Amino acid sequence: MNDNILNDIATEYGTPVYVYDTEKIISQYTLLKNSLPQEFGIFYSMKANPLVGICQLFKKLGSCIETASSGELHAALSAGFSPDKIIFTSPGKTYDELEYAVETDIYSINIESLDEAEAINKIAAKIGRVVDISIRINPDFDIAGSGIKMSGVASQFGIDQIHMESVFKELKTLTNLKVIGIHIYTGTQALNAHSIVQSMEQIIQLALETSEKYCFNLRFLNLGGGFGVPYFKDDSTLDMDILRNEFGQVWDKYKDRLSDTQVFVESGRFLMAESGTYLTKVLYRKECKGRKYLVCDGGSNQHASSAFLGRHIRNNFPMHILNKSGYEEPVNVVGPLCTPTDVIGQNVTLPEAVAGDVVAIEKSGAYGITQSPGLFLSHPLPAEVQYYKGKTYILRERWEKEDFMLRQRPLDINLLK
Ligand SMILES: Cc1ncc(COP(=O)(O)O)c(C=O)c1O
């Protein structure tokens, strides 16, 4: 999407606004699909961007979907996914959520603790069914160089590899459960294809060993992924040729033993991040104690990750001013919140901008609005718009100020009498 298109969208829908480039989503999905053995499936991890319209697009592309709450499960079903294309993974599924997943009869509930297995068993026994589950293992290895490690270290995710013996002993007593698979997710934002291949091979070995040792039919294997995106200046692009070639060789070693297993990867960031742009308008330009500021109509309340929230390293997302070049200056791009943390570009070099100019924050299609503290200071949530072949489609309308009253109740006036 060029600046003229983005500018037209900012004018038509107002700012702040998130824009998603459909062709980029399609090309990322196709790239990932073509970099894996053809029999592999992909789960779209909808936590990256849970818009129903985006989920529908992934369904159309042939993807399955990974959910992490009843809200996501409901959205996945609303997007038209059939239950047998849905998995549910989260360390904190409530009893109600588990009931919903069991009743919906999804492909697999990935258990992360024995207590959770017992809860599912109880629900399944109540309705006289046997429910398919997979075990999310926290293995002893991680994924070298990933942004956030989610295995190999103590965490709330999965069940330790060394506890498998006792887990399978206990699972034998839970007769309304059937173990169909293994799920391992080692980390996110990995940019080194060799590390991803190595981690996927370790996962395959562990899954095979586990199914052989504990005598269950490995129908489902979820290798995770962690496929990363180059956000920052020193980041390299994930080399999909290396992934395809190296993993192809690994797969040749194991594919006969896994001929009855449905093998998947899961991905959110890689599929979505590069398609999205967050547009926020400069309201005021000011200088304070020698530092220049662009005060914008949206900030960390709608794009927390660009404001370094939840990240250890303070580096700026790629950003530019729409249709502006020329003299450049270091500025702080800030949002409208009353907190000094509301900085979405710190000491970033941009062409001299004035009120009315639009800042475009790139690579913002994943973990944007839904990972942000949108209720903080009650600024209406932005519109979210999809662009495809010269046309735009609204995926979520901009909130109105009245929307902040949704489900609130006024104080009972008799309370203080
Ligand atoms: C279990 C699980 N699967 C998938 C994902 C999606 O990861 P990514 O967006 O890096 O592909 C995450 C992210 O934290 C996760 O925890």
Nearest-CA residue for atom 2 of ligand 1? 185
Length of the chain: 417
Q: For residue 261, what is the domain's CATH number?
A: 3.20.20.10
Nearest-CA residue for atom 16 of ligand 1? 185
Both 107 and 164 in one domain: the answer is yes
- Of the three residues 214, 236, 267, the one that is the final residue of a domain is 267
338 is catalytic: yes
What range defines the domain where residue 64 resides?
A: 50-267
pLDDT band at 311 (very low <50, low <70, confident <90, very high): low
Looking at 248-338, which runs of residues are DSSP E strands?
Answer: 262-267, 276-288, 291-296, 319-321, 328-334
Is pLDDT above 90 for 140?
Answer: no
Is residue 41 situated within a structural domain?
no
Is residue 1 situated within a structural domain?
no
Residue 218 near residue 194, CB atoms below 8 Å: no
Is residue 384 situated within a structural domain?
yes
pLDDT band at 145 (very low <50, low <70, confident <90, very high): low
Q: How far is the CA of 89 from the centre of ligand 1 (A)?
A: 10
pLDDT band at 312 (very low <50, low <70, confident <90, very high): low
Place of tokens 């996914």: 81
Q: For residue 285, what is the domain's CATH number?
A: 2.40.37.10
Tokens of 53: 């319209």
Tens digits of residue pLDDT in 354-380? 999 999 999 999 999 999 999 999 999
Ligand 1 atom at shortest distance from the alpha carbon of 89: 1
Nearest-CA residue for atom 10 of ligand 1? 188
The closest alpha carbon to 239, from 280, 192, 279, belongs to 192
Tens digits of residue pLDDT in 262-309? 999 999 999 999 999 999 999 999 999 999 999 999 999 999 999 987
Tokens of 55: 């989920």
Collapsed DSSP state (helix, strand, coil) of residue 167: helix
HSE toward the beta carbon, residue 198, CA cutoff 13 A = 13
Tens digits of residue pLDDT in 205-222? 999 999 999 999 999 999
Ligand 1 atom at shortest distance from the alpha carbon of 225: 11
d(CA 261, CA 319): 43
- Does the CB atom of residue 225 touch ligand 1 within 6 A? yes
**Average predicted confidence (pLDDT) for the chain:** 95
Ligand 1 atom at shortest distance from the alpha carbon of 269: 9
Both 262 and 283 in one domain: the answer is no
Both 255 and 282 in one domain: the answer is no
Q: 358-361 and 319-321 as β-strands: parallel, antiparallel, unpaired?
A: antiparallel
Q: What is the pLDDT of residue 313?
A: 65
Tokens of 285: 């330009």
- Does the CB atom of residue 138 touch ligand 1 within 6 A? no
Q: How far is the CA of 362 from the centre of ligand 1 (A)?
A: 20
